[in-house]
Amino acid sequence: MHRIDLVYFNAGGGHRSAAIALEEVIHGQGRPWEVRRVNLFEMIDPRELFYRTTGMKPENYYNARIALGWTIGLAQELRILHGLIRLSHRSLVSQLARHWRRTRPDLVVSLVPNFNRAMYSALAQARPTVPYATVLTDFADFPPHFWIEPGQSQHLICGTARALAQARAAGYDESHVHATSGMIIRPQFYANEPFDRAAEMRKLGLDPALPTGIVMFGGHGSKTMGRIAKRLDDFQLIMVCGHNVALAEQLRAMRSCAPRVVVGFTSNIRDYMRLADFFVGKPGPGSISEAIQQGLPVIVVRNAWTMPQERYNTDWVKENRAGVVLDSFSAVRAGVAEMMANFAGFRASVAAIRNRAVFEIPGILERLLPARGARLPAEYLHPWQLSGPAQRDVKKSSRHSHAGVTSVVDPHPGRQQPREDRTACWPETH
């Protein structure tokens, strides 16, 4: 049985979510693999020295900043992080190689940015015939040294035309670049079980006749949600705060002139999205992709506070007419008005987007795995393993085309365009 390592970390939550989704689909497809989800920071710091020294895990600082909205300057801090990673490259490689010598994977799949040079080098040292693949969980790379590392004999799995172009520009040939139809989202978002939207909305105290927005800022929320709640006081909203308990309490204490539901952490985001007509939030790749899969146009912002790796996502939204991009959430009311004025067009554009990436990637990974007992093809070998003419004349295979894309069912069949009705002031719904 092949052993597949899916490497993730908990910074932001999307990387872990992608690993879980991919593992679930691999098992659902009946592939005879031993799938192991591996936390990168547990590999490089198995004794938790960072936590013992600082009192926090490495991801917690990042997550706390996102929750507080302290995102300006992250591009500069990212360069500092890359410098620190370069300085510690030798020790990182040593620790990772030690882990992979002991655990002996047959394929390593990275779902994280920033550390792919160290992980690739460590695997080449510990298990030189084992393929290494990076699945970009962002719409595009943010070079240098974010997702795509030039000069590595590895595989890149990309979900947009922009990411594919970046991989090719970095020197990767077609045999090492693999296209999917989008980002990884959980397979539950593709389920098509019967759903009585009106009845479920009434259970929560919501009016099925009113246009409804769902407001989300990742797994840890954002204080920006309070300002959005004030500016959309007379719009029916579902506000998802994730692990941010203080934010949820603050929003529940606010009064509004339309029904409103405040949700803490939930594993059933899809159920709440199915109640909504549009999405408001940060332009994270997971949130945008989940919303679109549920038929929701999006309202997002791009400005100096937008995380650098998420800025291209707003271009993608514009290019695909998947929603409205604002300069600031201070204009969110105008953004909702624009959304409602062109709602049918936005809904049609969103319905045309077909993303089956989570179901396509296992097939790509299968093609990367060598047959048991077979000699590894030259195109999978690291350059220093080749000698003589093989170094000059490695023929690159072009057989790794991505899986076909199937249609996605409209999650809201027959739903009419929301009306512009408004109600008198409503008490908060908890």
Residue-wise pLDDT for 156-174, tens only, equals 999 999 999 999 999 999 9
State both tokens at 329: 């959430």
Q: Residue 307: phi, psi to the nearest 5?
A: -60, 135
DSSP H helices in 138-223 = 161-169, 197-203
Query: What are the pLDDT digits (tens) for 228-263?
Result: 999 999 999 999 998 899 999 999 999 999 999 999
If DSSP codes are grouped into helix, strand and coil, which group holds residue 3?
Answer: strand
Q: Are 185 and 290 in contact (CB under 8 A)?
A: yes
Of all residues in the chain, the percent with pLDDT exceeding 90 is 68
Looking at the predicted structure, is the pLDDT value of residue 295 above 50? Answer: yes
The residue with greater pLDDT, 390 or 168, is: 168
- Kindly indicate the confidence band of residue 308, based on its pLDDT and cuts at 50, 70 and 90: confident
Query: Sign of the CA dihedral 300, 304, 309, 315?
Result: positive
pTM above 0.85, yes or no: no
Which among 318, 3, 262 has a CA at the least distance from the CA of 139? Answer: 318
Name the least confident of 59-68, 201-210, 288-297. 59-68
Rg of the chain taking only CA atoms, in angstroms: 23
Q: What average pLDDT does the segment 363-378 reach?
A: 70
Half-sphere exposure of 178 (CA within 13 A, CB side): 27
Q: Is residue 255 classed exposed, middle or buried when 0-12, 13-18 and 19+ CB atoms within 10 A define those classes?
A: exposed
183-197 burial string, b = 16+ CB within 10 Å, else e? Answer: bbbbeebbeeeeeeb
Residue 359: CB atoms within 10 A of its CB come to: 20
CA dihedral of residues 30, 31, 33, 38 (deg, nearest 10): -80
State both tokens at 351: 């319905």
Q: Is residue 200 classed exposed, middle or buried when 0-12, 13-18 and 19+ CB atoms within 10 A define those classes?
A: middle
Q: What pLDDT is stored for residue 391 in this prediction?
A: 37
Name the least confident of 67-76, 133-142, 202-211, 220-229. 67-76
Q: Are 357 and 410 in contact (CB under 8 A)?
A: no
Query: What are the pLDDT digits (tens) for 172-224?
Result: 999 999 999 999 999 999 998 888 999 999 999 999 999 999 999 987 888 89
Q: How far out from the chain centre does Cα 378 lie?
A: 32
State both tokens at 396: 């690159």
Q: What pLDDT is stored for residue 144 in this prediction?
A: 93
Looking at the predicted structure, is the pLDDT value of residue 101 above 80? Answer: yes
Beta strands, E only, 334-391 = none
- Kindly indicate the confidence band of residue 45, based on its pLDDT and cuts at 50, 70 and 90: confident
Looking at the predicted structure, is the pLDDT value of residue 403 above 60? Answer: no
Q: What pLDDT is stored for residue 47 in this prediction?
A: 59
Looking at the predicted structure, is the pLDDT value of residue 385 above 80? Answer: no
Distance CA 208, CA 356 (A): 30
Which among 300, 224, 207, 216 has a CA at the least distance from the CA of 264? Answer: 216
- Kindly indicate the confidence band of residue 426, based on its pLDDT and cuts at 50, 70 and 90: very low
The residue with greater pLDDT, 107 or 411, is: 107
Q: What pLDDT is stored for residue 83 in this prediction?
A: 85
Of all residues in the chain, the percent with pLDDT exceeding 70 is 78
Looking at the predicted structure, is the pLDDT value of residue 428 above 90? Answer: no
CATH class, domain 2-184+357-392, is: alpha beta
Distance CA 264, CA 221 (A): 9
Domain boundaries, the chain: 2-184+357-392, 193-351
Neighbouring-strand partners of residue 324:
299
Name the least confident of 54-58, 164-168, 291-295. 54-58
Half-sphere exposure of 59 (CA within 13 A, CB side): 17
Domains 2-184+357-392 and 193-351 share a fold: yes
Please report the DSSP string for 49-86 in residue order.
HHHHHHSS-HHHHHHHHHHHT--TTHHHHHHHHHHHHH
CATH architecture, domain defined by 193-351: 3-Layer(aba) Sandwich (3.40)
- Kindly indicate the confidence band of residue 393, based on its pLDDT and cuts at 50, 70 and 90: very low
Query: What are the pLDDT digits (tens) for 148-158?
Result: 999 999 999 99
Distance CA 240, CA 227 (A): 14
Give the H or E element holding residue 362.
helix 357-368
- Kindly indicate the confidence band of residue 64, based on its pLDDT and cuts at 50, 70 and 90: low
Looking at the predicted structure, is the pLDDT value of residue 430 above 90? Answer: no
Looking at the predicted structure, is the pLDDT value of residue 42 above 60? Answer: yes
- Identity of the residue numbered 298: V
Q: What pLDDT is stored for residue 74 in this prediction?
A: 66
Distance CA 149, CA 172 (A): 10
Name the least confident of 55-69, 155-169, 202-216, 351-365. 55-69
- Could you give the C-alpha distances from 382 to 5, 152, 164, 321, in angstroms and in order? 19, 8, 22, 42
Q: How far out from the chain centre does Cα 73 lie?
A: 21
Q: How far out from the chain centre does Cα 164 lie?
A: 17
373 DSSP assignment: T
The residue with greater pLDDT, 67 or 214, is: 214
